[in-house]
Structure formats: structure tokens, C-alpha cells
Amino acid sequence: MLHPLVLGAVAVLIINDHVLKARWPSWWTGKLSDVAGLAMFPLLLQALWEHVSARGERSFRPSRTVLVGCVLVTGLCFSAIKLWPLAGAGWQWGLGVLQWPFLLLQALLSGRPSPPVLPAAHTLDVTDLLTLPALLVSLKLGWRRCGTEAQRWCSRSSFTSRPAP
């Protein structure tokens, strides 16, 4: 998650969603968010998985299987959200629930009443599937990291005479 490309994707996602889309809404600002999100989200999922999996384990190694699973899950969920109205509605409400605590804090700090939970804006758009190749950024960065970390782990372990699985 700390790779410059991933951090750049997060920055682009935040700036695009909170500044560029409001000032210059267009086809391009929508696709820019999709590309940035697809480039970083599988690595976020993998990081969360690794954080939970590594608790208490002394010999933790990143897994290419987990990485590929995260990339596939991200691509499938993204496709469903963009093509299937029920999945899109679930996304709208899920994102609305995640945004609500921040909106509540903002309301409390400004003396306004607490806002209701509302669905986030979302558009079903089959052309958003053109951004799916951005998943290759996550795959390439994660693949290289898994290989490097596995090599480091094997060189530190007592099983250096056997090849890594």
C-alpha cells in the first residue's frame, strides 16, 4: 500500500471525487475514479487479509493466491456494480453508510442537526468496464512484492536448502 503508484492512485481518487467531479463533471472524471480505484483496491484487500492472517504467526508470507483472489473479487464486484441494478443499489447504500459518520461529524462541528443516511450517487455504465485493465497495476505490484517477500522469508528460514513452494 505504500508504493508510490498506490499512494498516487489514492490521491487521484480523493482529489477526483471531491474536487474535479464537482467542478468539471464529465465522462473522464468518472473513468479517472474507476481507474484509480481499480489500481489500488485489490492491494487494500490484500493488506487487510494479510493483517488479519498475520496475527500471531511468526512465519507469515504474502501470498500470490490471495493477491489473485483479491484482483478477481474486485473485478467481479466492480463489474456487477456497473451492470446489475441491485448490485449498484447495494453499492450506493453501502457507500452512503460509510460516508455517514463523516457527515455526522461535520454536522456536529458546524452546529447542524445530524444528517440521515443517504445512498451515494452512482450510475450504471457499461463503458466503465473499459477501466478493468487498471487491475493489472495491482496485480503487477503485488506479484513482485509477493515474490520478493517470499525470497526474503526463505533466506531467513531454516529451510533454505528446499525450494520455496
Residue type, 153: W
Greater confidence (160 vs 81) lies with 81
**Helices 27-53, 4-15: crossing angle, 10 deg rounding:** 130
The type of residue at 2 is L
Across residues 56-61, what is the average pLDDT?
66
Q: What cell was used for 109?
A: 462541528
Query: Residue 119 corresponds to which cell in the numbers above?
Result: 445512498
Q: How confident is the model at residue 59 (pLDDT cuts 50, 70, 90)?
A: low
Please answer whether residues 40 and 138 qualify as being in contact, where contact means their C-beta atoms are separated by less than 8 angstroms. yes
Say if residue 55's pLDDT is above 90: no
pTM value is: 0.77
